[in-house]
Structure 1
Amino acid sequence: MTDVPATRIVAVVVTFNRLALLQRLVSRLLEVGGLAEILVVDNASTDGTAEWLAAQAAPVSTLSLPDNRGGAGGFDVGVRAAYDGGADLIWLMDDDGIPEPDCLKILLDHDEYDFWGPAVLAEQDPSRLCFPIRLPGRAAVVHRMSEVELAARDGVIADVVIPFNGVLVTRELVGRIGTPRAEFFIWGDDVEYLWRARKAGARTGTVVAARFLHPATDDLGTPMAFGRTTYNHSPSDLKHYCMARNNLVNLRDYRGWPAALAFVAKTVWFYAFTRPDPGRLLMSAKAMYAGVRGDFTGHRKYLRG
């Protein structure tokens, strides 16, 4: 009788100057078990992360980058390394999230998918989603976990997933679609990877019993247009520049120019009427024009040394 080889699962974690959060996450991943490797991609941190990682033993391993390439660059390198190292499944996450101890086990019970993940909950209030989602067949987004649980079928919300927050991706899918777009730096790289996977026919879903906690961020989803919609506003110039550039590129490439131009109009409305800010309007225009031209270098002016 031929033995069936064990599934090689590699967790890929991207970090930058958040040592305490990274330590918490690595400790949890060691507790989770079942991982052949915990691969930490360090984006040239300067807070002692490199020294701490150097002292860790297997299954923790490190890829230290010479400069900060953002989440997109880190996941590009990490996914490639995991794939080249023979991973059958790659478990993707940033350093500030944390899976519940049984998260991976529950996800593995649904291995009929190609790109699937847990419910991502606000760490400050786990009854709420960290990132609101639009359920299949509904126009409005939902914010409460109870609504997600009620909508699930066989414990899964099909065709909905929050990428790079505890998602599993199969080796076969990576072989077909490649790695995340490194040039995006931050923001939109996760959405682009998910949309690319769907375009390739990947089966996606959220397993509602699997839980992943993430800090609620900024004031994303700011109401606008008399409360009829929301806008992903961030006080960070770096985040906003990347969001405006990368979101326009994603919409153009996957939804077409009408969707991209609707995003332009939404941005103009938000910074002209909802939160008037001529400086942000100008930044948005420059970022979007750069994206259309294929220039992914403009965010560098907003990086801190």
Structure 2
Amino acid sequence: MPPDAPRIAAVVVTFNRIGLLRALLERLEQVPELAEILVVDNASTDGTGGWLAGLGGRVHARTLDENGGGARGFHDGLAWAVERGADLVWLMDDDGLPDAGCLPRLLEEPDLDFWGPLVVDEADLRQLVFPIRLPGGTRVVHQLADVQRAATAGRLDDIVIPFNGVLVTRELVERIGLPRAEYFIWGDDHEYRLRAEAAGARIATVVDAQVRHPAVGSLGTPMMFGRTTYNHSPSDLKHYCMARNNLLNLREYRGWPHALAFVAKTVWFYTFTRPSPRRLGMSLRAMYDGLRGDFTGHRRYLR
């Protein structure tokens, strides 16, 4: 690397997916732009910690004392990378696999603070794993071709899917702080993007840089006769955290009208779109827990 090149550290958060982690680290070891690869193990029980302890080279690992979810993993991992002198930090879960040219393509965009690739379905590269609401309107797209048509000079400004191959500058971390560790999962990444946006960060998605990722369920499920969508997950743990954390994010960054609209959407979705009194009760309990500052309720859904 040139002597004036930024020091780049990858931060990988993992939990009980040693097979996926092996494949990811093999890929990252082939990325010459990386100074080091920092792995935060969320107290895995599948042998991940022992396997990581035997690695060397650019890979360094920490095993947490308990499973703190992706939120604590990225909180601790980002702090660790900055402490070790990283100028740029490349954040990712263990279940994504960046294409070989992903990081070099991201580095071609020098004027950004918080930016990342598209996340595409590993089983169908034409599909997005996480739907994107296009800037300047309400249209939500699910296909790669739609994003490519909407891009300008190869990117979508003001949009990013955090913590799936996203780059963040040291300067931005020092300005806005670290992700909220108490969120556990689902919403911590979105909160960090909203915080960056509020601080005036330059944000973008580079549409010809890609990370391949497994499908995650019925995100963006149509509701209210197709006029809007809802992020339904079959996982009780993910849904509880989403309901709690999303309500708090909306209240903090969009105000009470948006927060109450989310409550109304949740009630509609589990009353009419996919009727489930149990899931509706869970949703309302999660929202109540968040409003009173209780971030322990997700533990009842841990396995």
Q: Same fold judged by TM-score > 0.5?
A: yes
Q: Give the conservation status (yes or no) of the 8 Å contact 2:218–2:231.
A: yes
Q: Structure 1: which 5+ runs fail to align?
A: none
Displacement after TM superposition at 1:62 (Å): 0.2
Aligned residues: 302
Q: Give the conservation status (yes or no) of the 8 Å contact 2:131–2:219.
A: no
CA distance in 1, matches of 2:67, 2:37: 20
Displacement after TM superposition at 1:302 (Å): 1.1
CA distance in 1, matches of 2:13, 2:285: 28
The root-mean-square deviation of aligned C-alpha atoms, in Å, is 1.1
- The 5 Å alignment of 1:142-161 reads 142-161=141-160
Which residue does the alignment assign to 1:113? Answer: 112
- The 5 Å alignment of 1:1-150 reads 4-150=3-149
Displacement after TM superposition at 1:33 (Å): 2.1
SS at structure 2 position matched to 1:31: coil
Which residue does the alignment assign to 2:296? Answer: 297
Which residue does the alignment assign to 1:195? Answer: 194
Displacement after TM superposition at 1:4 (Å): 4.9
Q: Give the conservation status (yes or no) of the 8 Å contact 2:78–2:89.
A: yes
Displacement after TM superposition at 1:24 (Å): 0.5
CA distance in 1, matches of 2:157, 2:291: 32
- Structure 1 residues 80-100: Cα deviation after superposition (integer angstroms, max 9, x where no partner): 000111100000000000100
Q: Give the conservation status (yes or no) of the 8 Å contact 2:248–2:291.
A: yes
CA distance in 1, matches of 2:4, 2:293: 43
CA distance in 2, matches of 1:145, 1:270: 27
Q: Percent identity?
A: 66
CA distance in 2, matches of 1:73, 1:137: 33
Displacement after TM superposition at 1:20 (Å): 0.4
SS at structure 2 position matched to 1:296: coil
SS at structure 2 position matched to 1:39: strand
Q: Which shifted more, 69-78 or 293-302?
A: 293-302
1:288 aligns with 2:300: no
SS at structure 2 position matched to 1:66: coil
Displacement after TM superposition at 1:262 (Å): 0.2
SS at structure 1 position matched to 2:29: helix
Q: Structure 2: which 5+ runs fail to align?
A: none
Displacement after TM superposition at 1:148 (Å): 1.3
Q: Give the conservation status (yes or no) of the 8 Å contact 2:160–2:203.
A: yes
Amino acid at match of 1:9: I
SS at structure 1 position matched to 2:80: helix
CA distance in 1, matches of 2:233, 2:45: 24
Q: TM-score, normalised by structure 2?
A: 0.97
Q: Which shifted more, 183-192 or 27-36?
A: 27-36
Displacement after TM superposition at 1:283 (Å): 1.0
Q: Which shifted more, 55-64 or 225-234?
A: 225-234
Which stretches of structure 1, 4 residues or more, deviate above 2 A after TM superposition? 3-6
CA distance in 2, matches of 1:6, 1:207: 20
Amino acid at match of 1:179: L
CA distance in 2, matches of 1:6, 1:231: 42
Q: TM-score, normalised by structure 1?
A: 0.97
Which residue does the alignment assign to 1:220? Answer: 219
CA distance in 1, matches of 2:272, 2:150: 35
Amino acid at match of 2:52: L
Displacement after TM superposition at 1:5 (Å): 3.7
